[in-house]
Structure 1
């Protein structure tokens, strides 16, 4: 494609004609910079006519403007409206030029501030300037405290700076006297990184003015950097004057050195009196040879007197009234046409915003919200932004064009490549902007944190350790990735930061999932191994029990065989072998139910099973006269004594056999009968148990056992089993052998 001849440069700030031509050139650049010959083939006008429309010498006709827009792919209706606005603005400028010298120079700054070169237009603060200059001469650090819109910035620049240059603030502190002017006067604002300020600015005999000091608390998030900057101010050898909003003055007490320095050197700037307001309205107009109607002056003073922070609103209303003046006269009709002090800003902003189409309206909203910091318990504040940051909004359509229009309308200002709101009063005075902030307050907080984090990430060389994680990442992802429209309000650095954070989070989640799966596999494997070990242990234990039981059974069979052999020849040895067998059985073995007999004691013993020698056993029982004891007669070891003390006569019909027992008068044994060698009663020789005796009382009376003796010498009690019957237990001949009882005692 052929490249046409280079066009002469244009200055958009020189007037509406060149500004409109500059916008036409931007439209042609976005269309790919086609040549005017190529554009002429699509339009019904020649190439020189189209080129003259963007030359900046005069405004083109509406038909040429529509043809130019169609050739470049623009909206012809929108460009025709722009042409009408430029023509109206050109007419106002021509009227101002015919009013006289200086008529084209606005006497009021609008939402902006008075600068040092505007000292001839700065009225109503003469006494305040003198008092402040005196205070600066007496203290090294002075704070000017006032509400938003009270005129602090204009006071420093258009009031204090000329006074310092005139030497009205010497070291002696006497205002009004001419002294040595400071070697340098420097003005700065803290911004987001206040510690980056050059230390050389705080040289000896210099005066440093720190405007918008509240940015130390609203924009700077690093406490260490904030403390470093405050230490620089309090320890500087130069004189320092800070201007801080009244709602942030309490934050100055957080730093002990700053609070001590400001205690005797705080200058409180209050509202202007009605007389001072009258001077501020009439003075700049008279300086520009203009006439202000008296009724207009009275109306403005009355409206601003009850408006907190109303100086920027008044200045903007006066500026709009001046633009609509009639000749050299500023009229009440023009003031009412713009809506007064409160409605002037909204009128200007709405007039500009309604001229945008939907795409440009979204872009304007994104740009304005980026210039606002939502307050956390305080009022919302402006946020100065580097112009490069706004230019980095590459997904916003027509961002540069909308920004230029906002600057021309003086809703925004540019200073040292920093773009900011013309005044924070715009936040409260424009209802549309206020509604945007309220609707997107939480989103704005998330966006501010994202912007700061992205800047740190970029400053660290895109270090992965500075990426978002956890709840911060989730909130940013939910706010910007779910809505494609909101994604366009991010810069390229912010989008790259968010995308890198999401990618890193995904990698970490996948790694965590792999680790979890590995751990679950290990736990499952260990569980299986543990179950196998338990099964093997139980099997081994069962096998051990089975082997032990079999060994015990084998031993029992062996012992049983031995006991069967020794039962008749050596019963004691057989019983001992059976006891040892019972002790070797497991605790749960039912074979232990057969209890082992108590082993015999060595030496002389009083056991009921073994005796060292024959001892007599006594059984004393109460019996009725004439009735024998229920035990067989003879000289056996057991005897029952009657009342006479002698042995009872045996019952007839028996040959030494017992004729008693349970109620029947007989003595019974569980394992048969055996003859006592001593001629006593029959007992069981196969079991070593105590012989049971029964005594039945004569005459049907219930017998009472008085005493029963045992082989070991202990006493026991028995009870009768029926009328006249008692029981006693003593050594059995089957247990101790014949004659073990000896002779009966008394």
Structure 2
């Protein structure tokens, strides 16, 4: 029967070559005399050694015989296996500390203590030097340890344990310290506590070091920790100032008082600075305004200078002239810069690619099959390589050849190289949508702008402007004008310019000037989109050979098109000799 196995075939009480343990006391026989002798000696002496040859049963006698007998006599027994931990002192310290912290029932009164008191005690028994990670033994006062920690210290300093040593009493300050410096490095619980409180220990060490330096410096206020250092120390102490000694606490209090006084002074100083700055700002407003006006005028001057320079450069390199025109407009959107950019846009509006920046006038050019690589030569024998990148930009490189080049070659893949009376001299007239202004064309081909407010006599405000109509290339009208519908604004597209003018401000107008005369046929309501006729031999009615073309007066559109067409920015060599103040980037990257 399975339930009778343990009765019929009990386990052998003999462990063989293994040592009898305390749990096997009930089967350990035959050594009663030796057990009595060893237990009696322990009752009379602090230490008893058991000697004998290997295998004679010394460990079994101690574990299965003497230990149970001493426990039966109400002794507290702590079993230490020195061979397992390498040091009897380590095993003893560990067992004693765990017995106290865990609260073993064998230790009378230990269960009344708390773990926090023991940990605070261990932290106070060590110190670290600034900059050194190795902890050292430290003498702890009773006030720092607290009453609970002091009871722990007395328990660990009793003669049966001797892990700590107490000093003082009878009028002298009571202190406690480790019995030996070696306990710092061999007591695992102490090492663990040092690691857990490393920030606090470092903060306390730094505070003590600064206090000593302050004391040696005749307690000069300037030697107290500054705000940043004090904040760092407070962060490390983490509100545990009660664990500091009186001197460190007093020093910390003085440092905080100095910080508060410093903050008050700083606030007063910043208030004074703010008042002074407010006065300076108030007094300097006029100067700043004048400076801005001067800067604006200077920028406008540079813009006009570059616009004129663009016209000169256009004779040799239209692409470079387009970049200069855009640079002028970016510096200041003057009429000259805008018109320069308009001319370049009008020149390149229908172009897909422009080769620009060669050293001289282009004489010959060859490209790869896909058009990404182009090699050109100029009349002075210089060669320039253009490579179109995947993103649309163009990389230009001047080839520094030893000899003059006139016949370029590139491999196929490119890898080698209502109405109102305005007077008798009006031929045609129209009113704006408000009925306040009228534009009139005279028989002499001139345009006038009149004020035609109801109940008032008409009067001429602007004009005459003109002459309107035919030029040496085109016959017929060739012009268009109208009101845009924006508070009396009208436009006139005639000859080589498109002019926008406010009837409410006759002295101000906006003009877009072309390089050559244009034949304007129609325009959008706002006057910004124009239909014109282009012809090499003139536009002569139905029998002419002209073609129609739309153009938009939009500088931002021109900039985008010119940047895409030219495909590059001004190089360093092109910027040399030009007026100062050029923007770093003309076209966006």
TM-score (norm 2): 0.32
More strand by share: 2
More helix by share: 1
